[in-house]
Chains A and B, each alone.
Chain A
Amino acid sequence: MLYRQVNVAARADYDRLIASGLYDTLVSSKLLIPHEEVVLPGERAPEAYRYLKPRLVPTTSYPYSWCFSQLKDAALLTLAVQRQALAAGMSLKDASAYNVQFLDGRPVLVDTLSLEVSGPTYWKPYRQFCQHFYAPLALMAFLDTRFARLSAVFIDGVPLRLASRALPLRTWLRPGPLLHIHLHAWGEQRFAQQGTRAESRRSPSATGIPALIHSLERATAKLRWTGRSAWLDYYGDRASYTGEAIDQKTRIVQEWLETARPSVVWDLGANTGHFSRVATALGIRTVALEQDPACVEQMYVDAKRRGDRHLLPLVMDLTNPSAAIGWAHEERLSLIERGPADMVLALALLHHLAIGNNVPLDRIAAFLAKVGRQAIVEFVPKDDPMAVALLTGRRDVFAAYGREEFVAALQRHFAIERTVDLPGSTRALYWVIRRD
C-alpha cells in the first residue's frame, strides 16, 4: 500500500492537473500512473491538501538496470508528457529517470506531483533530462552499452562535462550531442559564475520550450545502439542440449509453473528469455535478470514487438547485484529488498556461479532462499560440456561440486517438491519450496 500526500503548497498545481483534463489525457494514453483520491482515517496533517493512492508498480526497477531501449523509451515518455503538459499550461519540474517505472511492459511516469503550472519560460529540468537520459544514452550509443551502469555511481545523472570528455570527437559534428552535451557542458561552466539568478533570465519567447522539447525528441529518437554478444547464441549451436532435451525441459518448467501458479517469477540468468516467455505465456509477471545488456536489449525489443505485458527484463550481474544506494542507503532498494519472488528460475546457472565464480553451493542455495519462496533449479554436473568449457585452462578445485552436495545444500533451505532427470543430457531439474 502506498499513499502520497499533496501538500497545500502544491494545491494550485494539483487542481490544474485535474481540472485541465491533463491527468485524464495522460492516464488514458498510459503515460502517467493512475491514482485515486482517498480519505485516510484519523486527523489530516495541517499541510495536507489531498491523499492519493497510486496504482502500485509490481517490481521497481532503476535506470542502471535498464537496457538501451528501455532508457530511450523512458526518455521519450518524459518528453511526451512534457509536450502534453505544455498544451495544458503545465510543465514538468523534474525529469528524473527515477520518476519512470515499467508497468505492463511500458514506461510510465510515476511522479504525479512533478507536474506544475508552468511559471518561468525556460524548461527547468533541461539539465536533469540531459544528465539522466540523453548523456547516458549517447554514451551507450556512441561508445558502449555498459555505460548504463554509470547512473548507479552518479545518482543525479551523468555529469555533462564527463560525458562530453568521454564521447568520441565525431559526436561534435552531430547536432544532438553537440547542442545537448558538448556545448551544454561548456555553457554550464561558462555561465555558472555569472551570479545571475536563474529565475530572472527568461527565454525569448513562449515558443522556446516546444522548440527545445522538439530538438530533444529528435536527438533522442536518432540514437541507436547496435551491439552483438556471444550470449545471444547460447541456445543456438551448443552441445549440452539436444533439441529433445530443451523441449523436455521447457515442458517440465511449464508444467511445474502451472501447478505452482506463482504471481511473480524471477528468472535468474535469463539469457534471451526462453523460459521467461514460458512464464509470461501463462500470464505470470516475470522479471528476467541477465548480466548481458545485449540479451536484455533483445528481450525488451522482442517483448515490445509481441506486446508481452508480463515481462520486465533487467540487466543484473548476480555476482554483484544492484545495491541499496542514495541517501542513508534508502533511496534505491537493493535487488534482495525488492523481493522475494514467489518463484525463481535458476536454469543453466549453477555452474556459472559455482565454477565460473567460485561461489560455494551452500551460499548459492542461501541466496536462492533469500530471493524466492520457491525455486526451479537445474543441476549441471561437472562432466556437462558447458561445465567442462568453464573448467578449461584452470585447476579443478571444485571437489565439493556434485549432485549429492547440491541436494544437501538445497535441503538446508528448501524442501524438495519434485525432481526430474533431463533425458538426452546429464542435467536434472529440482522444484523446491522454502522452509519458512
Chain B
Amino acid sequence: MTKPQLRFIINRRLLALLVLVLVLCPRDAWAYIDPGTGSVIYQTLLVILLGAGFLFRKTWSKLLSITRARMNGGQAANPIDTRDPR
C-alpha cells in the first residue's frame, strides 16, 4: 500500500472517530430544532459507510486481480519490486 493511501485511511479513521465522539456526546438541546441538522449528521455517518464500502470494493478487486495474476502463473498486475533498495 502506498504512503498517500495509508495516510488517507488513517485520516479517515481519525475523522470517523471524531464524528462518533461528537455524536455520542450531545450538547444542550436547542429551543428551536432544525430538522436539517439531524439529516446532516446522518449524512456524515452514511458517507463513512459508503466510503468504507467503496474502499472495501476497491481493495477487494485489487486483491482479486493480484491473486488471479499469480494463479495464472504470470506476474501481478502491479509487480512489487522485492530487491533490496540499499
Q: Interface residues, chain A, CB within 8 Å of chain B?
A: 122-123, 126-127, 179, 183-184, 186-198, 201-205, 207-209, 211-212, 214-215
Q: Contacts A122-B44, A211-B50 hold; do A196 and B37 have CB atoms under 8 A apart? A: yes
Residues in chain A near residue B19, CB distance under 8 A = 201, 204
Inter-subunit contact A191/B41 (CB<8 Å) = yes
Say yes or no: A196-B43 contact (C-beta < 8 A), given A188-B35, A208-B51: no
Q: With A179-B46, A202-B44, A211-B47 given, can you name 6 additional A-B contacts, CB distance below 8 Å? A: A127-B40, A196-B41, A204-B47, A212-B46, A212-B47, A212-B50
**A183 smallest CB distance to B (angstroms):** 7
Instruction: For A197, list chain B residues within 8 Å (CB).
Output: 37
Contact of B26 with A195 in the complex, beta carbons under 8 Å: yes
B22 engages A192 (CB within 8 Å): no
Interface status of B33 (Cβ within 8 A of chain A): yes
Q: What's the least CB distance linking B26 to chain A, in Å?
A: 5
Given A187-B41, A212-B50, A195 and B36 touching (CB < 8 A)?
A: no
Say whether B40 contacts A204, CB under 8 Å. Answer: no
Q: Which residues of B contact A179 (CB under 8 A)?
A: 46, 49
Instruction: Return the CB mask of B28-54 against A: 1 if under 8 Å, else 0.
Output: 111001111111111111111111001
- Could you say which residues of chain A place their CB within 8 Å of the CB of B43? 122-123, 126, 203, 212
Contacts A195-B29, A195-B30, A202-B44 given; does A207 touch B54 at CB 8 Å: yes
Known contacts being A196-B22, A203-B47, A211-B50, is A191 close to B42, with CB within 8 Å?
Answer: yes
When the two chains form their complex, are residues A198 and B34 in contact, meaning their CB atoms are under 8 A apart? yes
By beta carbon, the residue of chain B nearest A213 is B50
- B37 / chain A contacts, CB cutoff of 8 Å: 191-192, 194-198
Question: Shortest distance in angstroms between B56's beta carbon and chain A's nearest beta carbon?
Answer: 12
> Any chain A CB within 8 A of the CB of B16?
yes
For residue A211, which residues in chain B have a CB less than 8 angstroms away from its CB? 47, 50-51, 54
Number of interface residues of B (CB under 8 A): 33
Bound-state Cα–Cα, A234 to B50, Å = 47
Cross-interface CB contact of B35 among A123, A192, A201, A204, cutoff 8 Å: A192
How far is it, in angstroms, between the C-alpha of A194 and the C-alpha of B20 when the chains are bound?
A: 12
B27 at the interface (CB under 8 A from A): yes
Q: Do B50 and A205 have beta carbons less than 8 Å apart?
A: no
Given A204-B16, A204-B47, A211-B47: A184 touches B27 (CB 8 Å cut-off)? no
What residues on A are CB-neighbors of B29 within 8 Å?
A: 193, 195
B13 CB, min distance to chain A CBs, angstroms: 9
Q: How far is the CB of B59 from chain A (nearest CB, A)?
A: 14
Q: Whole-angstrom distance between the alpha carbons of A198 and B30 in the complex?
A: 13
